[in-house]
Structure formats: C-alpha cells, structure tokens
Amino acid sequence: MTLHELPAPAEIVERTEESASIFTLHLRFVDPARQAAFRSSPGQFNMLGMHGVGEVPISISSDPDETGLIGHTIRAVGRVTHALATLRPGDRVGLRGPYGRGWPLQEAEGGDVVLVTGGLGCAPVVSVIDYIMRRRARFGRLVIIQGVKHAEDLIWRQRYEAWACAPDTQVWLAADVGGPHWAWDVGPVTVLLDHAEFDHSKAHALMCGPEPMMKAVAERLLADGMPPERVWLSMERNMHCAVGHCGHCQLGPLFVCRDGPVFPYPVLAPWLRHRSL
C-alpha cells in the first residue's frame, strides 16, 4: 500500500455551520509529519472517510497556503455526508489525498479572472479567491459570480460582502427564487454576465456547479468572444477510488478523478452535448 491509498486519521479541529444542510469541517492530520507534508492546489479534492460508513470525494475549500487546517465544505445529501454531518470537534475521520488536477492559476496570471459558481460549487472556488487575494498584483480584475436556487441557500454572505469591497473585485449574486432579504438579482447566473466587467480576450473563466449551468455559461462566454481554452469547468462524479481505477467517474475518454476534476472546455464540450453520458 502506498501513502496515497491508505487513509490517515485526521481530527476535526473546528466545525462551521454554513446553512441548515451545509457545514465545513476544518481538519488536521493526527500525525504532524503527514500534516506538514500535505500540499494541495486549489481545485483538488480529498477522500473523506467516516469510520464504518464509507468514503466520499470532497473538494478542498481552505486556503492552500494555510497549512494549519484543511477545510471541506459539505452538503448533507447522501449516506456518508449525513454521517459526516454528525461529527464534532475532537472526532476523527480517515483522510487521503489530495487527488486530481486543480485550477490553472499560473496560466490565469496577468489577466482578469471570472469565477462562476452555482450552489455548493462555490466551495472548490473559494480557495481560488483566497489564492488570488494573497497574490493580488499578479491578476487583473476578479469577478465573482455565484448563483443559488433559493435565497436562503446562499452561504458565506459576509465573505461575499467583504470580497465586494476588495480592490478590482466585483461580486454578483443571483437566486432563481429570491426572498425578503435578497438584495441581488433574481434569475439564472447568466444574467449576471450582463453586469460583469472584464476583458474577454485576456480573462480566464473558472466554473463549478451543476452541468447545465456550466454549459449555459460556457456557451455565453464563447459567444461573447472568450477563447474556449480559457474556459475551465470543475466536474463532479461519484469517485470511489480517486486514483483512476474504479471506473465510476468515467466521462467519455476521461476519468474525472485522475484527468480532472478541472478541465478546459474544449476537452469536455463533445461529452456535455449528450444527456446521460
């Protein structure tokens, strides 16, 4: 067994309640050497194991430069994530990773960066925001676009408000269904692209969210003149092994866990065209 395959125990140091069904676990490997050796880049994921229940792939939402804790923002939707939702500080999980290829942040330097996320798709992208904020001078404008189904699904409202105040940063939010305290747009995220100001010819777009949303946004960006190879999507599949063996994440010629989860649009486009692939 190699290091990559055997999980190691990690302790929940902090737990943040983000919404009624979304929570963040801030983890630290019990073994200090393993913790010190852990390096990830924004967009990669870990396998989180609940003892006696199973493992799930969860993207890393914490700042990659902050080696103290590893953050995973999780929505309780399935058997394992409901079990993970019961954990409290001091409890332990199995952790292995990081896996996959993350966002193309070096390629994106020097131009504008447009982040378009839907629902909990914001989780793997928040580490990108932290990354750019720490290296602000290397990037142009930062456009943060987030869509949710219902107004009450929005998490990290205060963070969005803080980011909106940062220099050269735009924050645009939309909910399919608004509410009494919803001060932003109502409608699909594509309407927010009307407001956003960035240079299509030099920008990179990084997206994470439901596939129909990403497809619609990608088509809109391409129609507006963005080169397709600068449009990046983070794909989701139910990885069991995370190392390209189990076959559950196959999409066309790709294994999402190994070849992705982040892909340039031209690689995905032939396969996004077909339903149930």
Partner 1 sequence: MSIVTTEQGFLARAGLDRLIDALRARDYAVIGPRVRDGAIVYGSIGAAADLPTGVRDAQSPGRYALEPSPLARQFAWANGPQALKPLVFRPRERLWASWRTPTGELHFGAAAEAIEPTAVIGVRACDLAALELQDRHFLREPFPDPAYRARRDALFLVAVHCTHPADTCFCASTGDGPEAESGFDLALHEIDDGFIVAAGSDVGAAVLAGLDLPAADQARMDAARAGVAAAAAAQSRALPSQDLRATLLERLESPHWDAVAERCLSCGNCTAVCPTCFCHAEFDEPASDGIVSEHYRQWDSCFTAGHSYLHGIVIRAETRARYRQWLTHKLAHWHDQYGRSGCVGCGRCISWCPVGIDLTAEVVALAGEGKA
Contact residues for partner 1 (CB under 8 A)? 1-2, 4-9, 30, 49, 51-55, 75, 77-78, 81, 90-94, 236-238, 240-241, 243-248, 250, 252-253, 255, 258, 270, 274-277
Residue number with CB closer to partner 1 (91 or 109): 91
Question: Is residue 246 part of an annotated ligand binding site?
Answer: yes
Which DSSP string do the residues of 166-185 spell out, in sequence order? STTEEEEEEEEE--TT--SE
Residue number with CB closer to partner 1 (63 or 236): 236
Instruction: Residue 7: name the closest of 39, 27, 29 by CA.
Output: 29
Question: Is residue 241 part of an annotated ligand binding site?
Answer: yes
Question: CB 55 → partner 1: shortest distance, Å?
Answer: 7
Work out whether the CA dihedral 265, 266, 271, 273 comes out positive or negative.
positive
Question: CB 241 → partner 1: shortest distance, Å?
Answer: 6
Question: Is residue 208 part of an annotated ligand binding site?
Answer: no
How long is the chain?
277
Residue number with CB closer to partner 1 (193 or 249): 249
Q: How many CB atoms lie within 10 A of CB 122?
A: 26
- Report yes or no: 170 and 214 within 8 Å, Cβ to Cβ: no
Residue number with CB closer to partner 1 (205 or 254): 254
Question: CB 15 → partner 1: shortest distance, Å?
Answer: 16
Instruction: Residue 244: name the closest of 263, 260, 257, 262 by CA.
Output: 257
**Strands across the sheet containing 54-59:** 54-59, 45-50, 92-99, 8-17, 22-29, 70-75
Question: CB 247 → partner 1: shortest distance, Å?
Answer: 3
Question: CB 90 → partner 1: shortest distance, Å?
Answer: 7
Strand, helix or coil for residue 193: helix
Residue number with CB closer to partner 1 (4 or 157): 4
Using CA atoms, how far apart are residues 53 and 231, in angstroms rounded to an integer?
Answer: 37
Residue ranges of the annotated binding site for [2Fe-2S] cluster are 241, 246, 249, 257
Residue ranges of the annotated binding site are 241, 246, 249, 257
